[in-house]
Structure 1
Amino acid sequence: MHISAAVVQEVGAPFSMADVELQEPASDEVLVQIAGVGICHTDIAVKEGHLPFQLPGVLGHEGSGTVVSVGGDVTAVAVGDHVAISFNSCGMCPRCAMGESAYCHNFLEYNFSGVRSDGTSGLTSAGTKLGANFFGQSSLATHALAHERNVVKLPSDVPVELVGPLGCGIQTGAGAVFNSLDVQPESAVVVAGAGAVGLSAVMAAVVREASSIIAVDLHESRRTLATELGATHTIDPQAGPLADQIREIVPAGVDYAIDTTAVTPVVEQLLASLGMRGMLGLIGVPADPDAVFSVGLFQPPLLGLTIRGIVEGDSDPQTFIPYLLDLHRQGKFPFDKLITTMPMAQINEAVAAQHRGEVLKVVLTP
């Protein structure tokens, strides 16, 4: 079928809307008519060449919409179902068998290779194969091919056009608190970067009843929103050394620190802000893949610190996305306050607005 998609022709090029050919779903695939798709930092990182993907190609990995066709082996969803689409995984490796699909041994192949497992793409333009199957979906388009493993059936009362970011960015921030670090009640948490991922962590820390929730961001508007969402304190990192500002609030050091910035000096300051047995969770994708930060030989063992890399918030989308939606239904996780909708035709303007900090999370609607 012919669809419209946002194509990246080469590294550094803008998105360009184009008519492309989409194949029929394979036996394990689900064809979804996209109602909304979030723009995630990972999409931009690929576009700028910081992460591998076959170009020209179609990105997008926070899609949601309505099932319009299914492959012959699909039983989990049916035509007409509303779904959110999350990351893909193999389902067969040791980590998938343990229910830890975010750490699938074949994660790069299933999410970044640009092709299906059989080497086909599913997307072509003027006879040229496009990179597709990005996070098992390539949903910056009017329609996307996903897989039975990475679509999550939604309740009928959910605003389907808004839930796509639960499949990656919002899931990652919230999951860092609920799953990866398992933040405990009455603890102290600092979150660096009050974008959609960071503010999702803030909202999750509120649910976990942390006593001190500190949000760090350069933008005053984001610090204000963090307070509205439940942060007990906010910090402007330009106002002084970050670790000193954090310890003015929690003199003994925080129990948990979450970094969404991947900025080396920020990570080092977060590490210095941890108290005994503190945990540092790393979420951000650095612009430089060889970026490093200083840990110190004795500090982590002396203080019993843990430094934890986090992928997708250690989440099982099939259970975690419904959990977040249930919290939202109770008024405890207002993720919709993070979202601004824009037409997909304005994708480059949306990317620029997110980069300038004017909006937190853009969801594009076809």
Structure 2
Amino acid sequence: MEILFDQMPNPFTYFVPLFALLIAGEAYISYREDKELYSLKDSVASTMVGLGAAALNTLTKAYQIGLFFLFYKLFEPLRVEFLGYDNLGWTWWVWVLCLIGDDFNFYWHHRFCHTIRIFWAAHLVHHSSNKFNLGTAFRNGWTIFLYKPIYWLWLPILGFNPVMIALCMSFNSIYQFFLHSTLVPKIPVFGQVFNTPWVHQVHHACNIEYLDRNHGGILIIWDKMFGTYLDKDKHLETKFGVLHPPTKHDPITLNFHEFNDIWKDVRNVKSWKAKFMYVFGPPGWSHDGSRKTSKMLQQEWQQQQQKAAVQASQPELVTS
């Protein structure tokens, strides 16, 4: 069975009313219990960024699906010759494998968005709010759609139908909407395998010890497998946002200010190595050590914790 691109259903259409209802409910609970989960300025910024992201996602959908179809058809003769099939079809187990493969792709795409500065510039807008609420889920970067499909190309090469891949990507995004809330408590058994709002709060926090953790989409097992998992400390106050927040909250600034900063850094150094690192190095890297990466900050924090622990364990001197 083949499904054409123009016949592909849009899952988001069916979930928009539920999203709106849940956001309204969360805002009401915030108001009733004085939790300050929302602010007018922040909500307007998230809405404007979200509308722009939705429009650009729609405009680039044809490019993404077209790219998948290109590799799907290009490698079809090789699949027939070396693997013995032309495509994987639409059976239930293919859907399961595609969902798992999609989530694996998202993990690495998301992880590199936090460890490579040019990708962080595209992703930073999603973390720019100091609020953590369901509306934050729509605060997505406008340029991220241009390079994101690259991580998924191996799926059409293996014979997964491009429409199936696109639908799995949509299902992943829909699931992640529900991760952006502080009102959901820790879920013991489910949370061992699946991503939950409890651990996603860690991902959105700017506490030094929480930086660059929990990159998973639907599944949290990738973080556990590749060493980026960290459970939330219920005794630690979670601070949301980024270490160096933008000074303005208009959608243009939120989406492009880091790209502008990259250009300034590249222009102000002569070394080609330094220019390369300012683009493809980790966020916070600097040629003169004037700034620090998240790993540097975490190493300093760990040293401070160890020093404090040693001092606390030493007996007090008793003077007669």
Shorter-normalised TM range: under 0.3
Return the TM-score normalized by structure 1.
0.24
Return the TM-score normalized by structure 2.
0.26
Return the index of the structure with the highest Cα Rg. 2
- Structure number with the higher strand fraction is 1
